[in-house]
Every structure is written in C-alpha cells, then in structure tokens.
C-alpha cells in the first residue's frame, strides 16, 4: 500500500471518529440522564429522548419567534425540568412500590403522552433553529464540520463535569449517592428516597433539555424524534453500565463512532441495525456494561 493511500485511509478514519464523537455527544447526554435516574431510583426512563425533543423544539420555536437565544434556552430548560418533575410526581411516585416492568411501561406511556401533546402543540413539521454561530465551519482531517458540533461536545463536557460536581461536592449529591447505595439505610438516616428521586428526575430532564438545545440547529426537531434519541441514549447507558453515569457518556460517544464508521464504510441503512445488534450482544455477554469491573469472589 502506497504512502498516499495509507494517508487517505488514516484521514478517513480520523474524520469518522471526529464525526462520530460529535454525533455521539447527544447520545452521551441522554444516556447520562438515564443512568443517573436509574442509579438513584432503579427506574429506566424510556421518556428521556422525549425530554431531548421537548427541549429542542421549545428552543427552536421560541428562538424562531424572535426571542434571544439565551432566553429561549432558559425557557427550554425550565419547560423540560418542569415536565420531568410533573412526570415524577404524577406518574412514577404513585407507583413507586410497583415492579420494574410496570415502571418501564409507565415511562413508555409517558413517552407516548409527551409525543402526542407535542404534536398537538407544535404540529408534526420540523422546527429548524439557527446555529449558535453564523457561518461557523471547521475543516479537520479533510472533513468540513459545523461549529455547532463543538457546542455539542462542550455541552457534553459541561454536563459530565456538572453531574460529577453535584454527586461529589454537594450535600444533595451525597444524599443521592447514599440513596442509590442503600435506600432503606438512607431512609433510616432521615433521607427521603422519593425526594432524591424527584431531584434525579429534574437533573435528568435538564440534561436532556441541554442536549436538545445544542442539537436543534443540526437536526431540526419534531415531535417524533424523541423515541430514536431515547433508544440511542438507552444503548449508551447499557454499553457504559447503567450504574455508571460517566460510563454512559463513554457509551454514547462509542455509539456515535460506530454509527459514523458504519455509515461511511457500509451504508446508513445498516446503522441502526448494527448499533442495536451491539446492544443485544453486550446484554448477552456483559450485562453490567463494557466499563463494569469484574467482581471477584473471596474464598
């Protein structure tokens, strides 16, 4: 193989990795919220993708109506946080003693409800949003990328750092970690698992809203995009380990890279099949996720 050909292959591989990391950042934010809520409450929220949709479509519609981008973003985050809190209080809290299967069904029902309400309020059409930076384009490894991808990457980094600081540097975060470790002991110490679950849901909704805002200029949102985004977020959380919020970030980035290589080397038509096939494979071989540490038995 000639040096020129080898260089072209390296550039192509680097461009796939770059595009994949950019696309995977949204999956990482969604997976981070799913993993955080699961760790605190044991609930897998299949409506997480609809929070991404809600944040993105609220931002796009508000900014499109002439509101400043900052104000539109604040409104979008407020709406997603409020809907997340309402979902926990009205749907999940009353069924807190139910089994995992019923709770999963409830989150799927909430997803369908959110999609239906969004269809009635915003309509079925897409709602484009302007990029944060006009005429912003980058050329890296022979690939042109919108500077909006940098905002996506920055939002993912900000979300991961904020969650780490919340969990490890605040009293609320320590209470959430204590509840995740032992709910009964936390209750005996005066902590309310119900309140910690509400807090985790609000944080997860805020993370999803942030992902929807930075994604809106790249993929104009409509009420139907929540389901595929939620499934990709769930895939990210499972790949990284549902009990590991930061593993979910790594899982989301990995999903994006796999999608980019499949699209570039095979066909975009096989992208979802291969990603979900990878999910099934991980569930069969390593249910704890790729980043989970192996437990060793003491004798």
Amino acid 297: pLDDT: 34
Tens of pLDDT along 113-136?
Answer: 999 999 999 999 999 999 888 766
Tens of pLDDT along 204-258?
Answer: 999 999 999 999 998 899 999 999 899 999 999 988 888 777 888 899 999 999 9
CATH 1.10.15 fits 10-116+129-285, yes or no: no
When the pLDDT of each residue in the chain is averaged and rounded to a whole number, the result is 86
pLDDT band at 291 (very low <50, low <70, confident <90, very high): low
**pTM to 2 decimal places:** 0.88
The pair of three-digit structure tokens given for residue 38, joined into one six-digit string: 């699961």
Q: List the chain domain ranges.
A: 10-116+129-285
Amino acid 299: pLDDT: 31
Q: How many CB atoms lie within 10 A of CB 147?
A: 15
Give me the half-sphere count of Cα atoms (radius 13 Å) on the Cβ side of residue 91. Answer: 22
d(Cα 35, Cα 43) in Å, to the nearest integer?
9
């Amino acid at each position: 193989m000639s040096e020129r050909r080898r260089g072209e292959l390296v550039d192509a591989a680097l461009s796939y990795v770059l595009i994949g990391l950019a696309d995977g950042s949204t999956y990482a934010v969604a997976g981070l919220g799913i993993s955080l809520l699961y760790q605190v409450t044991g609930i897998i929220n299949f409506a997480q993708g609809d929070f991404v949709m809600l944040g993105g479509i609220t931002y796009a519609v508000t900014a499109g109506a002439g509101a400043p981008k900052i104000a539109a973003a604040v409104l979008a985050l407020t709406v997603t946080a409020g809907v997340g809190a309402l979902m926990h209080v009205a749907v999940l809290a009353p069924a807190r003693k139910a089994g995992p299967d019923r709770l999963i069904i409830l989150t799927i029902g909430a997803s369908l409800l959110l999609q239906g309400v969004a269809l009635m309020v915003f309509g079925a059409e897409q709602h484009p949003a302007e990029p944060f930076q006009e005429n912003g384009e980058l050329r890296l490894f022979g690939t042109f990328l919108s500077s909006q991808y940098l905002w996506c990457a920055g939002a993912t980094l900000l979300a991961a750092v904020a969650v780490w600081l919340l969990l490890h540097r605040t009293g609320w975060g320590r209470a959430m970690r204590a509840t995740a470790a032992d709910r009964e002991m936390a209750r005996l110490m005066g902590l309310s698992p119900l309140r910690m679950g509400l807090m985790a849901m609000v944080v997860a909704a805020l993370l999803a809203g942030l992902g929807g805002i930075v994604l809106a200029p790249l993929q104009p949102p409509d009420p139907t995009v929540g389901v595929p985004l939620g499934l990709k977020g769930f895939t990210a959380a499972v790949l990284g380990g549902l009990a590991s919020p930061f593993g979910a970030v790594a899982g989301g980035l990995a999903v994006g890279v796999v999608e980019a290589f499949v699209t570039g080397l095979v066909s975009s038509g096989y992208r979802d099949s291969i990603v979900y096939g990878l999910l099934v494979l991980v569930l069969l071989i390593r249910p704890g996720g790729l980043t989970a540490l192996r437990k060793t038995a003491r004798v």
